[in-house]
Structure 1
Amino acid sequence: MKLTHIHHFTQELPADPIMENTRRQVPHACFSYVTPKKTTAPSLIHASKETAALLGITSADIISDDFLQVFTGNSILPETNPYAMCYGGHQFGNWAGQLGDGRAINLTTIRHKNQSYSLQLKGAGETPYSRTADGLAVLRSSIREYLCSEAMHHLGISTTRALSLCLSGDKVLRDMLYDGNPAYEKGAIVCRVAPSFLRFGSYEIFASRQDTHTLQALVDYTIKHHFPSINPTAPDAYLQFFQQVCNTTLQMIIDWQRVGFVHGVMNTDNMSILGLTIDYGPYGWLEGYDPQWTPNTTDRQFKRYRYGNQPHIGLWNLLQLANALYPLIQDAKPLEAILNGYKDTFESTYLQMMKAKIGLFEKAPEDLQLIEHLEETLQLAETDMTIFFRNLSSLTKNHSLTSKEIIPQYIKEAIYNPDTLSPEVINSWTTWITSYLNRLQKEPLSDSERKKKMDAVNPKYVLRNYMAQLAIEAADKGDYSLIEEFYTLLKNPYKTQPDSQKWFAKRPEWARHKAGCSMLSCSS
Structure 2
Amino acid sequence: VTPGFLVPMWTIYVLLFAVYVRGQHFLQEAVNQPGYCEGEHECHSHDDQTKIHRAYSQTSNVTNTTNQIMDLFKVSCQKLIESFPMDKVDGDYVRTVKNCVFSRSLPAPLRAPVTLAAVSKSVIEDLLDLDIRVTQTDAFLHYVSGAELIPGSIPLAHRYGGHQFGYWSGQLGDGRAHLLGQYTNRKGEIWELQLKGSGKTPYSRAGDGRAVVRSSVREFLCSEAMQALGIATSRAASLVVSEESVWRDQFYDGNVRKERGAVVLRLARTWFRIGSLEVLTRGGELDLLRKLLNFIIENNFPAIATEDPDKYLVFYSTVVRETAHLIAQWMAVGFAHGVCNTDNFSLLSITIDYGPFGFMESYDPNFVPNTSDDEGRYSIGAQADVGLFNLEKLLESLQPVLTTSQQQRCVQHGPHGVTFHQLFKAKLGLLGEEEEDGNLIAFLLKVRLYLAVNVSTRVNPRYVLRNWMAESATRKAETNDFSEVVLLHDVLGNPFIAQDAAEETGYAARPPLWGRRLKVRCSS
Q: Normalising to structure 2: TM-score of the pair? A: 0.83
Match of 2:341 in 1: 267
Question: SS where residue 430 of structure 2 aligns?
Answer: coil
Which ranges in structure 2 are unaligned for 5 or more consecutive residues?
1-69
Matched, 1:326 2:399: yes
CA contact (8 A) 1:172 1:186 kept: yes
Could you tell me which of 204, 227, 243 is aligned with 2:317? Answer: 243
C-alpha distance after superposition, 1:117-158 (max 9, x if no partner):
001111000000001110100001100000000000000000
CA contact (8 A) 1:4 1:112 kept: no
CA contact (8 A) 2:215 2:355 kept: yes
Does 40-49 or 143-152 show the bigger shift? 40-49
Distance (whole Å) between structure 1 residues aligned to residue 141 and residue 402 of structure 2: 46
Question: SS where residue 254 of structure 2 aligns?
Answer: coil
Question: SS where residue 297 of structure 1 aligns?
Answer: coil
Match of 1:336 in 2: 411
Aligned pairs for 1:236-385 (under 5 A) are 236-300=310-374, 302-331=375-404, 332-337=407-412, 340-341=413-414, 344-346=415-417, 348-378=418-448
Higher share in helix: 1
User: How far is 1:335 from its partner?
Assistant: 2.0
C-alpha distance after superposition, 1:164-193 (max 9, x if no partner):
000133110001111100111010000110
Match of 1:148 in 2: 222
User: How far is 1:499 from its partner?
Assistant: 4.2
Match of 2:520 in 1: 520
User: How far is 1:4 from its partner?
Assistant: 4.1
Matched, 1:57 2:130: yes
Match of 2:106 in 1: 35
C-alpha distance after superposition, 1:383-421 (max 9, x if no partner):
7xxxx36xx345xxxxxxxxxxxxxxxxxxxxxxxxxxx
User: How far is 1:330 from its partner?
Assistant: 2.9
Matched, 1:508 2:512: yes
Match of 1:403 in 2: none
Matched, 1:78 2:151: yes
User: How far is 1:39 from its partner?
Assistant: 1.3
Matched, 1:23 2:94: yes
User: How far is 1:243 from its partner?
Assistant: 1.2
Match of 1:9 in 2: 80
Higher RCO (Cα < 8 Å, 6 or more apart): 2
Question: SS where residue 134 of structure 1 aligns?
Answer: coil
Distance (whole Å) between structure 1 residues aligned to residue 231 and residue 238 of structure 2: 20
Question: SS where residue 447 of structure 2 aligns?
Answer: helix
User: How far is 1:507 from its partner?
Assistant: 2.0
CA contact (8 A) 2:75 2:151 kept: no
C-alpha distance after superposition, 1:440-493 (max 9, x if no partner):
xxxxxxxxxxx4xx2111111101110000001111122111111110000110
User: How far is 1:498 from its partner?
Assistant: 4.1
Distance (whole Å) between structure 2 residues aligned to residue 62 and residue 143 of structure 1: 18
Distance (whole Å) between structure 1 residues aligned to residue 133 and residue 419 of structure 2: 44
Question: SS where residue 5 of structure 1 aligns?
Answer: coil
Question: SS where residue 89 of structure 2 aligns?
Answer: coil
Distance (whole Å) between structure 1 residues aligned to residue 394 and residue 500 of structure 2: 46
Could you tell me which of 67, 81, 84 is aligned with 2:140? Answer: 67
Match of 1:196 in 2: 270
CA contact (8 A) 1:393 1:455 kept: no
Aligned pairs for 1:415-494 (under 5 A) are 451=455, 454-494=456-496
Which ranges in structure 1 are unaligned for 5 or more consecutive residues?
395-450
Q: Normalising to structure 1: TM-score of the pair? A: 0.83
User: How far is 1:365 from its partner?
Assistant: 2.1
User: How far is 1:369 from its partner?
Assistant: 1.5
Distance (whole Å) between structure 2 residues aligned to residue 393 and residue 85 of structure 1: 48
Question: SS where residue 485 of structure 2 aligns?
Answer: helix
Match of 2:14 in 1: none
C-alpha distance after superposition, 1:193-229 (max 9, x if no partner):
0010101000000000111011001000101111111
Distance (whole Å) between structure 2 residues aligned to residue 199 and residue 168 of structure 1: 30
- Structure 2 counterpart of 1:508, one-letter code: P
Does 123-132 or 54-63 show the bigger shift? 54-63
User: How far is 1:247 from its partner?
Assistant: 1.8
Structure 1's consecutive aligned runs of 4 or more residues displaced over 6 angstroms after TM superposition are none
CA contact (8 A) 1:4 1:111 kept: no
User: How far is 1:44 from its partner?
Assistant: 0.6
Could you tell me which of 203, 211, 221 is aligned with 2:285? Answer: 211
User: How far is 1:25 from its partner?
Assistant: 0.8
- Structure 2 counterpart of 1:101, one-letter code: D
- Structure 2 counterpart of 1:21, one-letter code: D
Question: SS where residue 234 of structure 1 aligns?
Answer: coil
Number of equivalences: 446
Question: SS where residue 35 of structure 1 aligns?
Answer: coil
Could you tell me which of 230, 235, 242 is aligned with 2:304? Answer: 230
Match of 1:181 in 2: 255
Match of 2:38 in 1: none
